[in-house]
Amino acid sequence: MNKLLIVGTVAFDAIETPFGKTDKILGGSAPYIGLSASQFNVESAIVSVVGGDFPEAHLELLRSHNIDISAVEIISTGKTFFWSGRYHNDMNTRDTLSTELNVLSDFQPVVPTNFKKASVVVLGNLHPLVQSSVLDQITNDDALVILDTMNFWMDNTLEDLMAVIKRVDIITINDEEARQLSGQSSLVAAARKIHEMGPKYVVIKKGEHGALLFNGDNVFFAPALPLEEVFDPTGAGDTFAGGFAGFLTKTNDFSFENMKNAVVYGSALASFSVEKFGTERMCNLAPKEVFKRLQLFKNLTQFDIELT
Ligand code: AMP
């Protein structure tokens, strides 16, 4: 079976939206990516770190979705990475209220031996030096490497981030971050600039306005499903990345044509993630529901115009 390796934060999140507020719930880039990819029944593992304050129930939840967490280090004397954020009425923008790196500050990731030859590697959002260190341990030269990042790392560790971006095949990034990274306001120009930094494929996520996939002059666009109610957008980007990567791992076809389908799967899965707080919706998502939503996507975007 093809293998998917995920590195990312495993976190406590405290989230505030116009619909309510949570205390410290399970969050972090890696759980969202792993839970989303678990829809594809691929063999996956998470490399990350948590503190002694992290509940066993959260780890068990990941295990119960067949995610190998033997490389999630537990530092019993340390505290888990903590992030808190607040969304406003439009839900497209959020304020980060606090980011406490805690045990992530001096994390040295160790890739499990049986995942060094993974066919797909997702470098989820976390310190670029940790992302690089994971890449150094991969022994499959043909592995498809997907990197996700955010403005926090551009603001604080730009040089390290540029070094890891150079080494990856695909970058997934949101529109504002693409503008920040490239210094371009047009997303087409931004994608071109980011190509020059290394990645052959650039995915720009535009929240409720969908996602763009660029590969040189090839461009593909998938909308986001218009939802009546977005409850909590946290993790939508990671859920997208997990669906995108999970589909590519399962199909083992890394062509542009197949990546279009991966973008659609990513978008469909992200549309579930935002329906409840945190990871809740992704924990109880039946394949039947995903199938139905993909059908909705098809209906939403298919048209048969006659060009004479
Ligand atoms: P997203 O909404 O897709 O950007 O992902 C939100 C998740 O990213 C939350 O669960 C946070 O715990 C996690 N997160 C927030 N800030 C960071 C950061 N600087 N590095 C890594 N993960 C982060």
For a pocket test of ligand 1, which of 125, 127, 146, 152 has the largest count of ligand atoms closer than 8 A to its C-beta?
125
C-alpha to C-alpha distance for 118 and 145, rounded to whole angstroms? 10
Average pLDDT over residues 27-37: 98
The model carries a pTM of 0.96
pLDDT for 4 equals: 98
CB 170 within 8 A of CB 144: yes
Which domains occur in the chain, in start order?
3-301 (3.40.1190.20)
Q: pLDDT per residue over 232-270, tens digit each?
A: 999 999 999 999 999 999 999 999 999 999 999 999 999
Work out the pLDDT band at 303, boundaries 50, 70, 90.
confident
Q: What residues form DSSP beta bridges with 12?
A: 26, 82
What residue ranges line ligand 1, CB within 6 angstroms?
A: 9, 11, 13, 27-29, 83, 99, 125-126, 150, 152, 234-238
Nearest Cα neighbor of 17 from 93, 125, 80, 82 is: 93
Which atom of ligand 1 lies at the shortest distance from residue 234's CA?
2
Judged by phi (left if over 0) then psi (alpha if -120 to 50, else beta), residue 203 lies in beta
Tell me: pLDDT of 225 over 90.
Answer: no
Which of 12-21, 85-94, 138-147, 261-270 shows the lowest mean pLDDT across its residues? 85-94
C-alpha to C-alpha distance for 238 and 274, rounded to whole angstroms? 11
- Distances from the Cα of 74 to the Cα of 111, 143, 174, angstroms: 15, 28, 31
Q: pLDDT per residue over 46-77, tens digit each?
A: 999 999 999 999 999 999 999 999 999 999 99
